[in-house]
Structure 1
């Protein structure tokens, strides 16, 4: 991505969608990351020296471009505009409009491209790695940044897409600016969710906000649905934001990993665009959606559909063997999908997640997990667990090696992050 100078955009041709909203012509829209941020400078790792109150260099961010589509200037006008849009959306049963984002300065917010407006994400054979922010947060957590950075670092030939529901990214908090300079393959974007769910069995669940009804974890429900639709439309590898990638995953095609001996995981998987397995999973979710059952549209759906397709003697051949039938927790192949053993994506089981955060004997992470592609941190269980710098914990060792920019920011002024 290269930086661009300010220029006169003129008025973009606008069309109304089926709900009466104005949509700018994507060819005229100049809101790409490279347009608002000069990312052409040489990459520089921000590593503060001991005792220095050094701040990351954000001089490359261009604050002079006065494109009216950037969230800036009058906060009251911004709030009024967002409120008006939300009222229109509510009138059409759209419960997904995020509230007006807040920042110390409105121009700190980077307006994100819709991933469906970018041809590179939709080309056949694209090496897409897809992550989601299903809440309305405008700044990723430290662990999310670490996941994004590790994936970008270990998979330089792929594009790591971070789909943010809020539609904007706060570039002045945390390592955002430095990471976007360091990794040209790291691309925060947004998505029109109605467009995302269109053409899938999940559209009705979205439009009726069923995911947000009678549940204690609406954002988890939404994230489960979003990943299915996103991979269905674009194809690629979906990854949760609570991982650290420790190896290249671009050679993995049509794979799902066992999460435990009885359950397939939906936190990391690769499927090609319009894979029939995804169609079956989405249809099952739509036909019997349960909002307050954990994993109903994620691991449970994956496991039950795979059992239906390959259970008993219906064709799953365990790796290296000849016997047919589903062998829980073990490598195998079914319907053109490779089922990887637990160690591939979930080397530390959820039941012993604390192992990741306690001091360990120094040992390179790749030697500790020689057959793993990622370390999963089980954020639903561990999100309150502090990470101590230089404690020797597996997570701190992994972060230092595989997300060094994020680690440097997180530990610049604190020993706990």
Structure 2
């Protein structure tokens, strides 16, 4: 999703969408955008698709407007949304994104992924949570069915413990607090996944084989490229990338190889430009 009014996504966002569309060809991949107006006709849908020509060859990619008050209606989040002063929120783009993912999965179900997550193989479960590290549950990728009781608890915890001024408190913080109460914080003795009650709880290797402190490795040249055989997707930690490093064609960096393999259409477009 895009929680700002930006209508020209950077290449990493487009790569994330393309990689998901390729890895899940039989499933809809939906990109919610706050800056997008209502789409009520086939013509408007076609016009929206034309705004993103690099993704036009993927029939399973859809664009929906992100209308927060409608999304939060009939959920615990609406009371928070109606009273929060967005202008005073230091991390509004991020905490609103945290809230939106809960409401989306509550209402629609499916797999949620951040737009800096490159898919490399199919997640085998539709119901799962994932560890970001030992003792911390990720908010960047998770999957649940519509109206799952755990998602309702996420939303309640978001509102009851709201501290928007603390980075991560409304994202991994919510997940970690609820999971700890739900099943006790799972631990890993090897790289096998474990269970949290009746939900799969994935090892950090599945989405975070490169931890956030080492995020620069994605933009470095490797003597031997990693295989990521134990991963379903790769989180590139874009929030850490304050200098705005991007994929540079011909750089031979790890991120260039990821683009070439998992979002080749975006890669070719960048080459042409």
Q: Look up the match of 2:110.
A: 236
Q: Residue 262 of structure 1 contacts residue 328 of structure 1 at CA under 8 Å; is this kept in 2?
A: no
Structure 2 counterparts to residues 38-117 of structure 1, below 5 A: none
Shift of 1:213: 5.6
- Alignment partner of 2:245 out of 385, 398, 402: 385
In structure 2, the partner of 1:411 is 271
Larger radius of gyration: 1
Over residues 289-340 of structure 1, what are the superposed CA-to-partner deviations in whole Å (9 max), with x where a residue is unaligned?
A: 11111112210110111111212xxxxxxxxxxxxx7316873212321110
Instruction: Indicate conservation of the 8 Å contact 1:233/1:273, yes or no.
Output: yes
Partner deviation per Cα, 1:354-389 (whole Å, 9 max, x = no partner): 1110111354x6xx1001011111001125113221
- Matching residue within 342, 350, 368 for 2:212: 350
Shift of 1:394: 1.3
User: What SS does the aligned partner of 1:411 have?
Assistant: helix
Partner in structure 2 of residue 361 of structure 1: 223
Superposed, 1:262-341 pairs within 5 Å as 262-311=135-184, 326-327=186-187, 331-341=193-203
Q: Deviations over 1:17-57 (max 9, x none)?
A: xxxxxxxxxxxxxxxxxxxxxxxxxxxxxxxxxxxxxxxxx
Distance in structure 2 (CA, Å) of the matches to 1:170 and 1:235: 24
Query: Which structure carries more relative contact order (alpha carbon 8 Å, separation 6+)?
Result: 2
What is the alpha-carbon distance in structure 2 between the residues aligned to residue 170 and residue 410 of structure 1?
Answer: 21
From 133, 136, 141, the equivalent of 2:10 is 141
Question: Structure 1 residue runs of 4+, over 4 Å off?
Answer: 168-173
Match of 1:165 in 2: 34
Aligned length in residues: 261
8 Å Cα contact 1:201/1:286 also seen in 2: yes
Q: In 2, distance between residues paired with 1:135 and 1:191?
A: 10
Assess if the C-alpha contact under 8 Å between 1:147 and 1:243 holds in 2: yes
Q: 1:304 to 1:200 in 2, by over 3 A?
A: same
1:261 deviates by: 1.2
Between the aligned partners of 1:357 and 1:290, the Cα distance in structure 2 is: 33
Tell me, in whole angstroms, the C-alpha distance in 1 between the residues paired with 2:271 and 2:194.
42
Q: Shift of residue 274 of structure 1?
A: 0.9
2: distance between equivalents of 1:261 and 1:362? 27
Residue deviations 1:133-163 (CA, integer Å, cap 9, x gap): 1111112111100000000011101110001
Q: Offset at 1:215?
A: 2.9
**How far is 1:170 from its partner?**
6.8
Aligned partner of 2:229 in structure 1 is 370
Counterpart of 2:75 in 1: which secondary structure?
A: coil
Task: Specify which structure has the higher proportion of helix.
Answer: 2
Cα 1:243–1:326 shift into 2, 3 Å: closer
**Following the alignment from structure 1 to structure 2, what is the Cα–Cα distance between the partners of residues 398 and 346?**
15
User: CA offsets per residue over residues 32-85 of structure 1, 9 Å max, x none?
Assistant: xxxxxxxxxxxxxxxxxxxxxxxxxxxxxxxxxxxxxxxxxxxxxxxxxxxxxx
Measured against aligned partners, the alpha-carbon deviations of 1:103-161 in whole angstroms (never above 9, x if no partner) come to: xxxxxxxxxxxxxxxxxxxxxxxxxxxxx111111121111000000000111011100
> Which residue of the partner structure matches residue 42 of structure 2?
none
Q: Which residue of 2 aligns with 1:197?
A: 72
Q: Matches of 2:83 and 2:197 in 1, distance apart?
A: 33
Q: Of the candidates 218, 228, 232, which is equivalent to residue 92 of structure 2?
A: 218
